[in-house]
Amino acid sequence: MIREEFLRLAAAGYNRIPVAYETIADFDTPLSIYLKLADEANTYLLESVQGGEKWGRYSIIGLPARTVLRAYEHTVIVSIDGVETERHECEDPLAFVESFKERYKVPTLPGLPRFNGGLVGYFGYDSVRYVEKRLAVCPNPDPLGNPDILLMVSDAVVVFDNLAGKMHAIVLADPAHADGYEQAQAHLQEILQKLRQPITPRLGVDLNAPVGAEPAFRSSFSQEDYERAVDTIKEYILAGDCMQVVPSQRMSIDFKAAPIDLYRALRCINPTPYMYFFNFGDFHVVGSSPEVLVRVEDNLITVRPIAGTRPRGANEEADLALEEDLLSDAKEIAEHLMLIDLGRNDVGRVSATGSVKLTEKMVIERYSNVMHIVSNVTGQLKPGLTAMDALRAILPAGTLSGAPKIRAMEIIDQLEPVKRGVYGGAVGYMAWNGNMDTAIAIRTAVIKNGELHVQAGGGIVADSVPALEWEETLNKRRAMFRAVALAEQSTH
């Protein structure tokens, strides 16, 4: 972009203007770029493996964000460079987020990647309490004390093109400053200079090292209490109070490795469509989620329910046999169909009449350790609504709550011993251009004060077996605990 074009866009009323530089980067990886440019607080790395087997084209590296928005229940705090600049008491913090995003008037320019900045971070599970008044107060303690919403204003990003081996460095310039264009160009040159520097080698991780015994974990539930909760849910189901509820337990262990080494291990052993590493300063969120919560792209809403799981087989023949077994399991199919209906209903609340479609029904997707039954539901966003309206309608996913959704969440509040926090919420971005892409925060670790916390649950229906449901929660955290063991090798 030349200066004259920048000034023209400023005169048109835009108050943030992308200034970009494109270069070959075939000697770098998204991880090496992150370590060179962004290995500090208020940064992130987003990557993707489609269908468990093919790398997504783009990886996104967020450089240190100066402006951060945090919501603790109904208190919203905006900080710039670590200093609080705004504090608001809001009945609906989601409405504040929407109005805050609207402060940024950013043009959509040709030649740039589809994401070139926005609000990036998470909306915790408890964000639903801003929408559903029956759930207005969480009755459970919150030992982690993290924000219910945490969003960084991502105004300097690198988008790495895995296919072409090139990268876009993008800086949002503020035309209110007389030298805003020159400042942005200087920032781009600083980024390029840092990319030319070598990174400090990190210790290797032996992926073939013996696993050893899993670490003893501290759980929010005892096995006896969890199984008792399953029985209580089955009583509610038999009484006609609900059809399915998804309880969970939080498992905590001591953690001494570098959080980035956990991400390195996780992306190797459990690649998924949504891989993310967030450094929020006083805590980290590291995850490898298989499931989109909601995506909005050019006003097309997409949700992709996942329910039904088998382990991967030792070879193709074993995989096919397991797929056949999964697709003939009446309980798994009934649960999946229930979640398709719930997804259609949620999408339909904010879609134009007649636009909701089931574009894939009960296909098998294979990942590194497991395979899932997956369906795909789309709808055209109603005129006048935004991506935030879609988030309001869909968060949390039926796969993390149950059906009917509100009653299931009331039962979760009754039975779970701690506030969920990040778990079961939405992790991802709301772009300046109105698009949004969020994953369900599952297979996700929260690292804080030398401890790692991972949460897992399962859908309870009328014929669920309590002991097997407890075992399912343990199975779902095994990849994360394996990644922890590998990461901690690199500290020795």
pLDDT at site 211 = 63
Q: Which of 372, 392, 420, 453 is catalytic?
A: 372
Q: What angle do CA 115, 55, 160 make, to 5 degrees?
A: 40
pLDDT at site 366 = 84
In this predicted structure, which of 42-46, 48-52, 390-394 has the lowest mean pLDDT? 48-52
Percent share of the chain, pLDDT over 70: 96
pLDDT at site 368 = 72
Whether 434 is catalytic: no
* Residue 26 vs residue 411, higher pLDDT: 411
Q: What is the pLDDT of residues 79-91, one digit of tens each?
A: 999 999 999 999 9
Encoded tokens for 320: 């096919």
Q: What is the mean pLDDT of the chain?
A: 92
Domain-embedded: residue 288: yes
**Terminal CA-to-CA distance of the chain, rounded, Å?**
48
Domain-embedded: residue 361: no
pLDDT at site 106 = 95
Between β-strands 43-47 and 58-62, what pairing exists: parallel, antiparallel or unpaired?
antiparallel
**Run of H or E residues at 465:** none
Average pLDDT over residues 168-172: 96
Domain containing residue 392: 3-197+219-299+381-489
CA distances, 12 to each of 7, 16, 106, 177, 313 (Å): 9, 11, 11, 16, 58
Rounded to whole angstroms, how far apart are CA atoms 404 and 462?
Answer: 14
Q: How many domains does the chain have?
A: 1
Rounded to whole angstroms, how far apart are CA atoms 153 and 172?
Answer: 11
pLDDT surpassing 60 at residue 324: yes
pLDDT at site 55 = 62
Q: Which of 129, 187, 310, 443 is catalytic?
A: 443
pLDDT at site 204 = 67
Average pLDDT over residues 53-57: 66
Whether 21 is catalytic: no
Please choose, from the candidates 479, 68, 28, the residue with its C-alpha nearest in 3D space to the C-alpha of residue 286: 479
Domain-embedded: residue 31: yes
Q: Are 277 and 263 contacting, i.e. CB atoms less than 8 angstroms apart?
A: yes
CA distances, 31 to each of 25, 34, 114, 160, 359 (Å): 12, 5, 20, 10, 34
pLDDT surpassing 60 at residue 233: yes
pLDDT surpassing 80 at residue 143: yes
Percent share of the chain, pLDDT over 90: 74
Q: Which of 236, 263, 367, 423 is catalytic?
A: 423
Average pLDDT over residues 152-181: 92
Whether 44 is catalytic: no
Q: What is the pLDDT of residues 110-125, one digit of tens each?
A: 889 889 899 999 999 9
pLDDT at site 209 = 66
pLDDT surpassing 70 at residue 150: yes
Q: What is the pLDDT of residues 396-440, one digit of tens each?
A: 999 899 999 999 999 999 999 999 999 999 999 999 999 999 999
Whether 459 is catalytic: yes
* CATH code (residue 484): 3.60.120.10
Whether 312 is catalytic: no
Neighbours of 216 (CB within 10 A): 7
Identify each DSSP E strand in 111-238 by its residue range. 118-123, 149-154, 156-161, 166-173, 218-219
Average pLDDT over residues 313-319: 91
Average pLDDT over residues 469-475: 90
Please choose, from the candidates 436, 385, 433, the residue with its C-alpha nearest in 3D space to the C-alpha of residue 14: 433
Domain-embedded: residue 57: yes
Dihedral class, residue 208 (left if φ above 0, else alpha if ψ from -120 to 50, else beta): alpha
pLDDT at site 490 = 63
pLDDT at site 335 = 84
Average pLDDT over residues 326-351: 91
pTM of the model as a whole:
0.93
| Residue given tokens 């001591």 in the structure block | 254
pLDDT band at 164 (very low <50, low <70, confident <90, very high): confident
In this predicted structure, which of 8-12, 25-29, 271-275, 341-345 has the lowest mean pLDDT? 25-29
Q: Which of 62, 457, 458, 459 is catalytic?
A: 459
pLDDT surpassing 60 at residue 374: yes
Domain-embedded: residue 325: no
In this predicted structure, which of 24-33, 150-159, 212-221, 280-289 has the lowest mean pLDDT? 212-221
* Residue 463 vs residue 419, higher pLDDT: 419
Domain-embedded: residue 174: yes
pLDDT at site 136 = 87
In this predicted structure, which of 38-52, 68-82, 159-173, 284-298 has the lowest mean pLDDT? 38-52
Domain-embedded: residue 74: yes
Residue 38 CB partners (closer than 8 Å, separation 6+): 44, 45, 61, 62, 63, 64
Q: What angle do CA 174, 18, 43 make, to 5 degrees?
A: 85
Enumerate helices (H) and strands (E) in the chain, giving the number of each.
12, 27
Domain-embedded: residue 257: yes
